Amino acid sequence: MSELSRIWLSSPHMGGQEQDFVNQAFDSNWVAPLGPNVNGFEEDLERYIKEDKKAACLVSGTAALHLGLIQLGVGYADEVLCQSFTFSASANPIIYQGATPIFIDSEKSTWNICPDALEEAIKDRIKKGKKPKAIIAVHLYGMPYLVDEVHQVANKYEIPVLEDAAEALGSHYKGRNCGSFGEFAALSFNGNKIITTSGGGALVCPSSDAKAKTVFLATQARDEAPHYQHSHIGYNYRMSNIVAGIGRGQMLVLDQHVDLRRKMHAFYVEAFKNIVGVEVLSAPTEDFYANHWLSAITVDPEKTKGFTCEDLRAAFLEENIESRPLWKPMHLQPIFQQHPYYGDQVCEKLFKDGLCLPSGSNLTDSDRNRILKVITNCFSN
């Protein structure tokens, strides 16, 4: 293996001012799951996402999805439609609620939830006696899903959408920001995301009331009383003021990070331009503006004389460069196998042929040269 330092898929990239906000928290002793940085970070997010949305900062994107489902009224034995091609955190909160996930295939243009398979599933579930309670749609790798088509189906059957925008802060569709389309939307600030707070998330809410309810649930559901009084089950999901300080600093460099990730995507488009059988996931039309959190490709061995994405992954690894297969669809996961699935093998094939490539906003020219050398070596003969 190469002696050179590791090139990561996506690693934290600090802008410089994060520590100032964290120091302010220490100086004022706001070392608590609330405080000025939490309020400030929420205002930054609201200003960024627009559409009069309200943001509630939480400990993780997973917690945001969980509280989103709770507020959509998802409970025991309900059914929730969920994009199969995603990270398990999109689906796990359905199980936390004692509900059943119904998995939906992707379509080929954005790799996200297929509106036709979605409608087929809704019709079939209704026929079987139960109307699904919610739809979880994901903007995978920062590529917006087919927003108009998906929401048209959702509206037709009056089923609310919980938008998983964990990978899509900074992406937009027809000029409107991802995180503003669903009834609720989840954001993530995990260590590998486009901005990070080390760990954290937010639930984007439709109103101040919905945000207040989110914060109430996230802080152990304390009723108003001098003693501890509870009439709801609560959660300990609120973001700490220290962590929110990192978030405020990261918001100052978010647009810069989006530009740099998009430049990495353009680099791969150029690198694979003349290579038959390799496709880089790219916006299907100008309506789609992806943050390209991760650049992702498919390799079709029938067109590359048998060379596979796994061969490419091994070649990168040899040079100490990280790459990773695409998300393994949820309906193929041992834990979710028994749940219904509607689709036509699109995400199965993506999983078989796909690879995520180093995409960080902190990659250097020398990193890109090392990456390009591997690509050139692999495809030169």
Ligand X SMILES: *Cc1c(COP(=O)(O)O)cnc(C)c1O
Chain positions contacting ligand X, by CB under 6 A = 60-62, 86-87, 89-90, 138, 164, 166-167, 188, 190, 201
Cα distance between the two ends of the chain: 22
CB of 183 to ligand X, least distance (A): 17
Query: Is 188 or 298 the residue whose CB approaches ligand X more closely?
Result: 188
Q: Select 102 or 165, whichever has its Cβ closest to ligand X.
A: 165
- Nearest to ligand X of 75, 191 (CB atom): 191
Closest to ligand X by CB, 25 or 195: 195
CA 226 to chain centre: 39
Q: Per the structure block, which two tokens stand in for 34?
A: 């609330």
The CB-of-60 to ligand X minimum distance in angstroms stands at 3
Question: What is the SS3 assignment for 324-356?
Answer: EECCCCHHHCCCCCCCCEECCCHHHHHHHHEEE
**Both structure tokens of 113:** 């939830």
CB of 300 to ligand X, least distance (A): 25
Cβ atoms 173, 289 nearer than 8 A: yes
Q: Which residue is nearest to ligand X (CB)?
A: 61
Classified as helix, coil or strand, 262 is helix
Closest separation in Å from C-beta 269 to ligand X: 23
Question: Would you call 301 exposed, middle or buried from its count of C-beta atoms within 10 A (0-12, 13-18, 19+)?
Answer: middle
For ligand X, the closer of residues 64 and 280 by Cβ is 64
Taken in order 25, 26, 28, 32, the sign of the CA dihedral is positive
Is 194 in contact with 258 (CB distance < 8 Å)? yes
- Residue 308 DSSP class: -
Give the whole-angstrom CA distance, residue 171 versus residue 161.
Answer: 18
Q: How far is the CB of 236 from ligand X (least distance, A)?
A: 15
Question: Cβ 58 to ligand X, closest distance in Å?
Answer: 9
Q: Which is nearer to ligand X, 58 or 117 (CB)?
A: 58
For 275, residues 6+ apart whose C-beta sits below 8 A from its C-beta are: 304, 375, 379
